[in-house]
Amino acid sequence: MEAIILAGGFGTRLRPFTFTRAKSLLPILNEPMISHLIRTLPKKVDTVILAVNYRREQIEEYFNKHDFGKTIIVNEEPEPLGTGGAVKYADQYITGPFFTLNADIICSLNLAEMLRFHEKKKATATISLWPIENVSEFGVVDIKKDGNITKFVEKPKAEDAPSDLINAGAYLLEPQVLNYIEPGKLVSMEKQIFPQIINNTGRFFGYKFQGHWIDVGRISSYISVHALLLEKQKKTFATGEQCTIQGTLKSSCAGNMVRIGKNTTVESSILFDQVTVGDNVSLDHCVIGEHCEIGDGSVLRNVAIGDNEIIEKHTKLDNAVVWNQPIPQGYPNKQIGNVIGE
Ligand code: GTP
């Protein structure tokens, strides 16, 4: 059985970190985001098709060293084709029902159970569903008791919402779904294809699950996924190899060869490999890219600093993004992906 993992987006909301790397390789507890997802695949999935585009070579390099005991196919689109176009582009590898998974979701969904549900319902498509509180900011599903979805309702008023359930980014599709997608075109699975499956087959189902779900699309959710996973592991912090930590880490993660000076506090923050933080520094809700240096006495709050930046001593920054290098050629200046639920 195949699983297509959608990992070709630019990840513009996670800039400046995605200026230098594929979003799916951003570290979560010092392991690439995508590896957390691959570990949740059922045994039955023996082939993983990585639908890639931006920073394809980094993804290929990682999977050349880590195959997770599965056949890995790196399928590069000539240009980003969107979530539907990327699936169509993989159709030569599809031999039966297949999973399609967003690479940037960290959740407790049991894919083997979702498969059983899909088979029992004889569904053409099954999507995972997650409950949210603020329905008016999302697209929610209109769903019957047996799980049959009859439509999507965009950003309803709370009192008009047919449910509190949103698309959680994991799909199980019968190969016939591929017939609905025009090849070589930019196509959104969620906006263009799912409504057609609902209308033409009536066999579009939703699979609800419990536990946790985080769409790691933004810096804030990138920080909160660390907090959640640390809590689950009953840890207050995590560090990689060869770190020198003299200060204090709370609800934070440091990569390999990180140095943190005396009287320094790092709270709800993520430091990539080879970051050096001086003495008497305070970091709160910050993400610091590889090889950065933070000077003594600096106070940073809600700050994202791209790779290789140097922050002078006694710098004070609040709600800032630091990136002083050229933006990579071809990187879009606005979001082109379609955000789950928006
Ligand atoms: P933003 O630019 O911040 O919206 O991020 P994104 O480009 O990753 O878009 P979004 O979060 O909507 O994408 C959801 C998932 O689909 C991510 O795992 C993306 O990598 C993937 N994705 C989005 N667009 C494409 C595409 O055109 N091709 C492929 N192969 N994957 C895509």
pLDDT digits (tens, 9 = 90+) for 152-175: 998 899 999 999 999 999 999 999
Which domains does the chain carry?
2-215 (3.90.550.10), 236-322 (2.160.10.10)
Q: How far is the CA of 271 from the centre of ligand 1 (A)?
A: 24
Is the C-beta atom of 201 inside 6 A of ligand 1?
Answer: no
Q: How far is the CA of 90 from the centre of ligand 1 (A)?
A: 16
Q: How far is the CA of 53 from the centre of ligand 1 (A)?
A: 10
Is the C-beta atom of 11 inside 6 A of ligand 1?
Answer: yes
Please list, residue by residue across 36-55, b when 16 or more beta carbons sit within 10 angstroms of its beta carbon and e when fewer do.
bbbebbbeebebbbbbbbbb
Amino acid code (one letter) for 161: A
Q: How far is the CA of 164 from the centre of ligand 1 (A)?
A: 24
Atom of ligand 1 at shortest distance to CA of 5? 18
Is the C-beta atom of 189 inside 6 A of ligand 1?
Answer: no
Is the C-beta atom of 198 inside 6 A of ligand 1?
Answer: no
Q: Which of 15, 100, 101, 102 to mutate to test the pocket of ligand 1 (most atoms within 8 A of CB)?
A: 102
Atom of ligand 1 at shortest distance to CA of 102? 18
Provide the whole-model pTM: 0.94
Atom of ligand 1 at shortest distance to CA of 104? 18
Q: Which long-range contacts (CB under 8 A, 24 or more apart) does 317-323 make?
A: 321/15, 321/16, 322/16, 323/15, 323/16, 323/19
Q: How far is the CA of 293 from the centre of ligand 1 (A)?
A: 31
pLDDT of amino acid 338: 52
Ranges of residues in the chain whose predicted pLDDT is under 50: 339-342
pLDDT of amino acid 295: 98
pLDDT of amino acid 337: 55
pLDDT tens, position by position, 240-266: 999 999 999 999 999 999 999 999 999
Q: How far is the CA of 233 from the centre of ligand 1 (A)?
A: 29
Residue owning the nearest CA to atom 11 of ligand 1: 339
Closest by alpha carbon to 22, among 56, 49, 51, 48? 56
Q: How far is the CA of 181 from the centre of ligand 1 (A)?
A: 17
Cβ contacts of residue 12 below 8 Å, gap of 6+? 18, 331, 332, 334, 335, 336, 337
pLDDT of amino acid 18: 96
pLDDT of amino acid 121: 98
Q: How far is the CA of 195 from the centre of ligand 1 (A)?
A: 20
